[in-house]
Structure 1
Amino acid sequence: MAPSRKHCPDQGRDRTPDRAKELSNLTEALRRLADWPEGTVHGTSGGRRYVVSKTCFAEGRSVKLVATELGGPDYISLNVYDLRRGPLLKPCEMPEQKVVAFLADLCA
C-alpha cells in the first residue's frame, strides 16, 4: 500500500511573495554578517545584548559566527560558505529563520 499523502492547504498556490521576502531577509542577514567586524564584540539583536564572535577562514570564504546572550539563555551559532554558486548559510542545530532574524537585526 502506498503511503498516504498529507494535504497542504496552500498546495498549488503561488508562494512567490513569501519566497521573495525570505530571500530579501537572507540577503540583508548576509550583508550584516559581511559588515560585522571580525573578532569578539558586543552587539544587540531583537532587543537583547550579545557577545558576538566572528572568525573568518580560507581568506574570508568561510565565516563562523557565535553569539551568546548576556544575562540570558539565547545562543546563536552559524557558518557561511562562499561557494561559486553563491553563499551557503549553515545554522548549527537551530532553524535557519532564527539565524536570519538574528543577523538581520544585529547591530553594534
Structure 2
Amino acid sequence: MDDALHDDLGALVDGIPEGWSRVMIDGQSWAVTRTTRAQGGALSLDIELLGTAERFGANVWITSQGPVLRPCEVPEEKILRFLRSAAAADH
C-alpha cells in the first residue's frame, strides 16, 4: 500500500465513529460498526446494507508505517469504495 493510500485510509477510518452508526449512500441505508481493539492497535469494521443480506467487513492494523487494511473475503477496493462514499455522505 502506498503512502497516499495509507493517509487516505487513516482519514477514512477516522471518519467512522466507534460503535454502530447509519449512513445513507445513494439513497440506501447502510450500517457500519467500528470496534477498536488491542489498545488502539487494530480495529474492525462490520458493514451491512440494511434490509438485505449484503454484509462485509475488514480489519485495520495500525502500524508504525501507517494503517494496513485487511478485508474479510471481499476485495480491498470494495472496503475503500464504501469508506469513501461514507465520508462523502450526509450522516
**Alignment of 1:78 onto 2:58:** yes
Q: How does 1:9-24 map to 2 (within 5 A)?
A: 23-24=4-5
- Provide runs of 4+ in structure 1 moved above 3 Å: 26-30
Q: Which has the larger radius of gyration?
A: 1
Q: Given that residues 39 and 54 in structure 1 are in contact (C-alpha distance below 8 angstroms), is that contact kept between their aligned partners in structure 2? A: yes
AA matched with 1:44? M
Residues 84, 30 of structure 1: alpha-carbon distance in 2 compared, 3 angstrom cutoff: closer
Q: How does 1:20-99 map to 2 (within 5 A)?
A: 23-24=4-5, 27-99=7-79
In the superposition, the TM-score normalised over structure 1's length comes to 0.68
Instruction: Provide structure 2 residue ranges, at least 5 long, that are not aligned to the other structure.
Output: none
Q: Percent identity?
A: 28
Distance across 2 between alignment mates of 1:105 and 1:27: 17
Instruction: Provide structure 1 residue ranges, at least 5 long, that are not aligned to the other structure.
Output: 1-18
Distance across 1 between alignment mates of 2:74 and 2:26: 17
For these two proteins, the number of residue pairs brought into alignment is: 87
> Offset of 1:92 from its aligned partner?
0.2
In the superposition, the TM-score normalised over structure 2's length comes to 0.78
Larger mean Cα displacement after TM superposition, 45-54 or 86-95? 45-54
Residues 68, 30 of structure 1: alpha-carbon distance in 2 compared, 3 angstrom cutoff: same
